[in-house]
Amino acid sequence: MNIAVIPARSGSKGLKDKNIRELGGKPLLAYSVEAALKTGLFDTVHVSTDSAVYADIARRYGADVPFMRTDELSSDNATTWDAMKYVLNEYGKLGKSFETITVLQPTSPLRTAADISEAFRFFELKKANMISSVCEMDHSPLWSNVLPADLSMEDFEKEELAYMPRQTLPTYYRENGAIYILRTEHLYNSRNIYKNGCYAFIMDKKKSIDIDDEFDFMLVEAISGLNGEE
């Protein structure tokens, strides 16, 4: 048994109600719900939310929402993984248990059903306990630094890197937040879920935009050709 969970609490600070903001005539969270359902991989597709409005929207697009997230697990101090354990525990009370849990952030609308299916195949191929989706960084962090109060760049670049061509630098990656797949046993039993059988699933940068603010939303609209109207 496999479950996909779309975490969609209502207390967004950067962009109000971003998880249900319309993109191409559909609320943002609908893209993740529909992508998960389209894969055919999941026995349950659940939206974890503290909002009755969000829950109704999620059900309209085919998600299962038999219970709400608690206020405690919807605070800024709560972790996604604590919320996921709560989801598994609540389904356990309903007589459902799952071997894997796949977390799909609603703020990654460009991630497709094909991406999720490919990630699941990779998860099984690696016999992984967890995979996390990543993408290549736009700029190497080796060319980044902090600045002093007077903004002097005297020590900004390491001397050995100052004149190195970009192509000779190592490739750096970042987590894009689009797909996490875990064995539920690993989630419950690991102090650090990134250890012991965790692998990176590499995604295209174009599919890796994580909407956090107005600029990100505009960028997704520009790339996808979608807008807020039908």
| pLDDT tens string 174-225 | 999 999 999 999 999 998 999 999 999 999 988 998 988 888 888 898 887 7
Q: What is the 3-state secondary structure (H, E, C) of the chain?
A: CEEEEEECCCCCCCCCCHHHCEECCEEHHHHHHHHHHHHCCCCEEEEECCCHHHHHHHHHCCCECCCCCCCHHHCCCCCHHHHHHHHHHHHHHCCCCCCEEEECCCCCCCCCHHHHHHHHHHHHHCCCCEEEEEEECCCCHHHCCCCCCCCCCCCCCCCCCCCCCHHHCCCCEEEEEEEEEEEHHHHHHCCCCCCCCEEEEECCHHHCCCCCCHHHHHHHHHHHCCCCCC
Residue 158 predicted with pLDDT over 90 = no
pLDDT at 14: 64
- Res 66: pLDDT: 97
The pTM (predicted TM-score) of the whole model is 0.88
Looking at residue 163, its pLDDT comes to 61
Q: Is the pLDDT confidence value at 162 over 70? A: no
Q: Considering the chain, what is the average pLDDT of its residues?
A: 90
Quick: pLDDT tens for 72-128: 887 777 789 999 999 999 999 999 999 999 999 999 999 999 999 999 999 999 999
pLDDT number for residue 230: 35
pLDDT score at 129: 97
pLDDT score, position 147: 92
pLDDT of residue 228: 43
